[in-house]
Structure 1
């Protein structure tokens, strides 16, 4: 199944997520167009707060949507059939204008089906009076849509609705901040409301801060821990434990508003924020316990690659380093996606065979296709993955060893730096040094 996530520093701090995952039910079914598929966006589970002391229960929302995969197709007239017959005795339903109810079902309309998994239709649920915690019900979904080639049918999915009791700490999403000058200070808002039916007795706030930001001393109740290997740490974890009691409908704020100082080497920075009730209390909707404050500085980073010139007789083996350098001034990190900051494409010079391959490099055919041989040596081309973050002034070296089989005077292999996606690095002001040569037996 596919999942969407708000605010995680993927592959950097294991288990670190500022927000829980919201599910999208998937399964393989026939589609009108073989290269496209219609999907339903719906939560797997919803904890519905019960009323307290006979009072009316608070309202919760089920966010629903449709999307498809292929941008080459236009998908229209989406119809999502929502069946709430399984909520009898569990929850009352209020339908939005986009849905036409008939008994215990409703058909929700999507005139244009997007490519993204947005959920614009909000169905409101309220636990029925007297419903006990632990009682469950189910909502089921079916969907169709139209393309030029016919009707698309989505995999069926469902949401389990469970009556529960507890706090629901909701973290307001900070607006992204762009165009920030290095050295300046920007606010990082942390706004929390308890939308549950029980008080949160104590609040834990956890912050994961990228190295281009400095939050200073957040509060006396906080501890700080750098994360990552080596002398340069990509992240700082700040964990805060507060004794505040947040009643239903009440709010929580840090003792002092957060301020982030932007470092000279900052570019695309973030603070992943998570809040939880202390004491082991179950949060009714953990998916809204996290948010990301995105702060983008006005800065650049000059990426460069370097090859070398080597002389060797036939039968000799030479070490040929391929070197990447971030000349700064900014560091670059893909902490949210976990993608390498780029790759280095290396073509082997004519007349030579690679006998030792760096661990981060994968063999390719001459035209860039997959290398089918079981051994990694001997390929005509290699793609070397850079780390997911590189500090300013950091160098990454890929040490190849080449055996000269035939001396070819002035044999040149190309070295090309490539981004993980697209055709260039938007932050790089000098693309001329994104290419270099690896030369064997250069002309004198």
Structure 2
């Protein structure tokens, strides 16, 4: 699992490119894995790559910082239990002290512990909360390392082992401000038109004052940023552009944040849920202003997921053409999002839908749209051409996309009928399209009168 901050993930998704640049290999192709095909699984350790702890004050003890650790595995066809994470902190000698949680059993020296993580999920969740602080007398800039190994019960061979050396945390003694924002609680089934207040406060857990802070915010297309601060600049979304439409806000506040203090924005930050909202996301991040470096950026960025009570209607439309044997005809199809909601996969960058096109009997494709590729699924007739086409990562209401296939008529088959099927996809849920009747269409070559 990636530990990339959510703000960076959103920006990557937002800049993924225009229609045709987001063909994801394998998505929606329907290629099946045979029941008797050997399956694999792998155990992984999730740990921060680096951690900064504040230097101990003269004659006092430094503040503990929490270090979140966990295990996960790849293949959900296997149940994996009895996770054992071994944590070796011997490399922190003279640099940092560790406080072990209840689910870890350290050796007599207190330098190596085996931590019981229980059942191992396929999505990372924190199972071990280690506490780390700078050792007394450790100078700013002192560094050490925590090393990990792990095993669990399950997988194809009955035991899984994490790759040796796959995770390590570098611990550095530092001094400075450490700004952070709390994790918001996601909300679902939000009525259209609702005004939401963003849970936005800034806390300094460092040992120095932050002399002002900057803020960046990103609001997806279904959210309006209602509150406008004079300290901010606003870039509005372009629903007709090639990139994912969203509001981008940059701010600079001169509010001082002392060690241990929590401050609010000048006034509450409000978002409006628009009529075209569905699976929305509001990302925000904070940094100290000036040349000051934040001690620990892991809590500087947050993502608030907002699901609106809305639907979208993905539909495909076919066509009818006629021609003689040897002719080449345009026999494609069209996609439309009838709304009222937009759908965007701003986190993964995955297409919001794939469309399977089974060619009419007796035809061969001579020209294929850039976002389509030859495909195969179990049970396909090898005599019938099959193509999988992808949409971009987002579909605004009333988006129309044409897929103009050129087909050569190899032989005339009266009422030769090709099938078109759209498969909606969303990072959150693909149940946003309740009207499945128009998810299929036909392309007919040489229809009978």
TM-score where L is the length of structure 2: 0.87
Shift of 1:250: 1.0
- 1:366-389 superposed Cα distances (whole Å, 9 cap, x missing partner): 7588x9xxxxxx981111101111
The residue that corresponds to 1:160 in the other structure is: 170
Match runs of 1:43-442 below 5 Å: 43-52=48-57, 55-102=60-107, 103=109, 104-147=111-154, 149-156=157-164, 157-226=167-236, 230-231=240-241, 234-365=245-376, 367=378, 380-420=385-425, 425-442=430-447
Shift of 1:220: 0.4
Distance 1:421 1:335, change over 3 A: closer
Q: Contact between 1:354 and 1:379, CA under 8 Å: does it hold in 2?
A: no
Shift of 1:361: 0.6
Distance 1:34 1:83, change over 3 A: farther
Shift of 1:327: 0.6
For 1:421 and 1:412, how far apart are their aligned partners in 2? 30
Distance 1:11 1:110, change over 3 A: closer
Which deviates further from its counterpart, 133-142 or 56-65?
56-65
Q: Contact between 2:283 and 2:304, CA under 8 Å: does it hold in 1?
A: yes
Distance 1:135 1:436, change over 3 A: same
For 1:365 and 1:35, how far apart are their aligned partners in 2? 23
Unmatched 5+ stretches in structure 1: 16-32, 372-377
Distance 1:379 1:247, change over 3 A: farther
- Relative contact order (C-alpha < 8 Å, sep 6+): which is higher? 2
Shift of 1:419: 2.8
Shift of 1:131: 1.4
The residue that corresponds to 1:6 in the other structure is: 6
Unmatched 5+ stretches in structure 2: 17-37
Distance 1:57 1:266, change over 3 A: same
The residue that corresponds to 2:26 in the other structure is: none
- SS at the partner of 1:329? coil
Distance 1:244 1:322, change over 3 A: same
For 2:377 and 2:103, how far apart are their aligned partners in 1? 54
For 2:276 and 2:239, how far apart are their aligned partners in 1? 19
Shift of 1:426: 0.8
TM-score where L is the length of structure 1: 0.88
The residue that corresponds to 1:29 in the other structure is: none
Aligned residues: 419
For 2:379 and 2:239, how far apart are their aligned partners in 1? 33
- SS at the partner of 1:86? helix
Shift of 1:72: 2.8
Q: Contact between 1:340 and 1:388, CA under 8 Å: does it hold in 2?
A: yes
The residue that corresponds to 1:18 in the other structure is: none
- 1:303-355 superposed Cα distances (whole Å, 9 cap, x missing partner): 10011000112222222231011111111111122111111111111111211
Shift of 1:105: 1.2
- SS at the partner of 1:362? strand
Q: Contact between 1:61 and 1:123, CA under 8 Å: does it hold in 2?
A: yes
Distance 1:5 1:326, change over 3 A: same
Shift of 1:218: 2.6
Shift of 1:193: 0.6
